[in-house]
Structure 1
Amino acid sequence: MLRETASNESDKNEKELETELIPEDAQVLQKVDGKIDELSDRLKSIEESISKLSKSNDDSEIDESAPTTNLTIPESKKKSKLQHVFRNVSNFENGVHYFSEWQDYFNVKWRMSVLHHNGHLGIFVFCQPIVPTDQWSIRMKLEFKVIDPTGNVVSRTWERCYGSNDGWGFSKFLEWEDMEEWHLVNGNLIVEVHGEIVETTGMRKEKVRKFDESQKDVSDVIIVVRDTKFYVSKMFLASQSSVFKALLLGNFSESNQSEVTLNGIDPDDFHYFLEVLYGESAIDDTNVEGVALLADMYGAPTAIRKSTNEEGNIEKELETELMSKNAQVLQKVDDKIDELSDRLKSIEASISKLSKSNDDSKIDESAPTTYLISPESKKKSKLQHVFRNVSNFMMGVHYFSEWEDFFNVQWRMSVIHHNDHLGVFVFCQPIAPTDQWSIRMKLEFKVIGPTENVVSRTWERCYQSKDGWGFSKFLEWEDMEEWHLVNGNLIVEVHGEILETTGLGREKMRRFDESQKDVSDVILVVRDSKFYVSKMFLASQSSVLKVLLLGSFSESKQSEVTLNGVDPDDFQYFLEVLYGEPAIDDTTVEGVALLADMYDAPTVIRKCEEFLLGKSEKDLEKKLEIATRCNLKKLKEMCESELSFIRLMDD
């Protein structure tokens, strides 16, 4: 079987793994890993928003007549991450479970095991609630990963409801031989399991306070969390939480509703969170993690303070031991958090200044210099195909999807029945290449089962010919037939990102090289290419480049400014369009439109849209894809209208 259970303690052959976790101090690192991820996510969000701020510089006043909008309410994700390095894996005995250490996430202990089982690597996850009732359950989404020395990943996803201490997972995650050949690092195996708790029952302490219908006479709004209704006061919640203030009293549709639904929230966690807000002593070891998560998510300082105090009391018991064993590790982590926090302060200060400014404001020369993180253009593709009647496929024959056009390159995939395995490959064919060309790609191959369980593998490859590349042993054929066919059909996806190309660009119409030095005042560096341009002209054409080159950022004082994550050929054609050249055709429009949207250059956006509406020979589906990705509203409306008409005629 592909999936099966493993007994937790009864098997006499089970052995505790003798080696320490990752290095010794990885447990400490993992405790703060979530904090670093949180800061990094905030950075990414803030840095992306800077590039769009100047669009709203003229909107200094709120339009009271503006229509009511909907607020996207945050969700609390109860996520966990197990990571372990299993050492000397080639020496593992057949049929013996080797375990990681127990780790505590949201009042549940978790650990994983690996198993050498009949020529395969098996991976399992065990759970053990800390204070369960007689009947308990934990519904989990799990992603199992094995990471190879180059960072490529084999992963499988599964959703499972735990109701006992048994382990669940994959007994045939990888062939043992392939694992030894491709995934060991000095004889060791890196395994990760990412989890998300979807729902729990039977794991909670008694409630201190009621928020049910008995409180109807002292409430003016009902908060709905899953199947539970909480009768509460708008004004009180608004006084305790900045998010609830915006949600319940702001200019959002929810402020006019008698019932407001919160998605992605555990009702027990929300009950304890409300108890804390209403002054009860509700926090203990069993709920502090869930309450703290909601307190942070909803911006509730009272609950945050109480949660922090409780965690502080818990941590004091371990303080001496942690300081003696992990002081150096903690110092490194603290330094990293401080670094991210400093970047956040700088960027948030920049946002505050930008949002208060308008187009007529002058640059404050005395203001401190800050750094702007330039946006990056991601040239992404997605191939998806349903291969039909797969069980009847002939051995050794490639079965292909249709060609699809992404960024001036045609792509297709194939599957093959090869020596009792399913193979998956991707082929490319540049539309207008030179004699020497290359495309460096990141690829993620996926097979999606009937319950959306996914098997995926990642790979980075440089294409230089029309040959296909992929995995000849992506899955065992028998497992594919048992677990992944839907009415005899197989759903395959390949997600790609173009990292770098050479030899795909057409002849340039205009020079931006050193010959333009005398009519330029800044050099933009894109990979290995330098573009000599005018600050003022670019600032007049692009709000993002205006902020970058004339704003209160360090780049405005530099003679050379580097733009990361941009293809130099695309940037050449983008500049050509800005400088008035007819550089848009079917081979360039996708890359140019992507940059025009990213840099908010309305002239180029308009010209790309006009070309796609009038002269382009791309099909409607491709035009709709570009319109959606690059925010071309007129083109999107036209494509959707014509496609709807075609479907109507077909019916």
Structure 2
Amino acid sequence: MSDGAPPVKIRCIGLVKKDHEYTPRCRVLEFDGADPNLHDVILLVQDHKFYVNKKQLAIHSKFFNRMFFGGFGEAEKDEIEIKDLDASQFHNFLEVVHGVMYVDDSIVEGLIELADRFDCEHLLKKCKEHLTEIKNLSSNKLLKIAIRYDMKPLKTKILSSIKTKRELKDLIRPTTDGFDHETMNLLLEKSLGMEPGPTSFEDYEPSTIAESDPPKLRPSGLLKRETEETSPRSRILEFDGADPNLHDVVLLVQLKIVTKPKHFQQLAIHSKFFNRMFFGGFEDAEKEEIEIKDLEAPKFHNFLEVVHGVLYVDDSIVEGLIELADRFDCEHILKKCKEHLMGNNNVPTKKLLPMACRYDMKQLKEKILSNVKTVGEATELYTTDGLDQETKNFLLEKSFELGPNVAGHLILQRTHHMRYLMMHRMLAKLAE
């Protein structure tokens, strides 16, 4: 039976430079017009047609907002050509805008250029934040970007990291084109104050910016504990309907709390649930206001910001986000949540393990259980709600290995029937 949503096509197109080699980038969204419900304009870039939605672009870009809703002639056209633009870079831009790709080393150079050109405030901010931490760009290229986009803290960081004439030589290679007058003066002053260094650099590879202190990694045998709650996160998008051009349905969540998504096409792109609701022939498609029950408004607000590409998955929202991604059948967001939970995060283990069980993350579950090294850790996890029976059995076995007394303590928490069976099991273990 069809679920009402078109299958997602993933193909590898374009080339991405990584570690001095070129590898294909796999596309998540094709923008090929396969589903006519999800686009209302065609953008022509280098003879490539991108089928997109005006409102989603207008949310991120003042350029496109003016183009589509500013009374210009383009607003009435079905197809608009955008010149002097690389199609592959624009595809990256669209996937980031649609929330299925995050800013990373391989796309940030082209992305910040388009974010600046199309006047995308939030995307420009994301690119700048990424560039302050990037390690894979040469100092020369990074400094030029910092100058071009007025990133004074990054510029200061780069210049202050130059301690030797060798590093200075790297910084000005292969060319100083793009350096402003102020930067050239600072480099001259810096060179005059340096001790004489090596004079030959022919075989020396240009360096990148010196890394800051490496992240502190948690010892593998320790479980992550609860930390203090963070202060409420400021909102990027309000979904308050202030601009009538940018929404076409109202979703009512938690009685009087109303959130207004900018357009239901964007929800339908991410969610098979909303795709069926809006385009599956149900009566909800004709309503101007739809109530969604059993849902917390703050969690849904986070979900909407992730869907619209202005918020990325992080520790503070991942637990609620993966729940909604699963409920609303959002393949890409679910994948992003799982990647975050598998990666370097500070989510307490007592929250991680139930999520690993609930969302069938076997690799994460194995990783957590392999780090149980003490009796206390086994006891703490065993008493956590939301664990499947397989996990509980494993922890019980682990407790036998670490200390029989603790195993007995855990057994007493079971039902009478299970208590009887487990007691025999414990006695058998002790008799061995």
TM-score range, shorter chain: 0.3 to 0.5
> Which structure has the larger Rg?
1
Q: Which structure is higher in helix share?
A: 2
Q: Which structure is higher in strand share?
A: 1
TM-score by length of structure 2 reads: 0.33
TM-score by length of structure 1 reads: 0.23
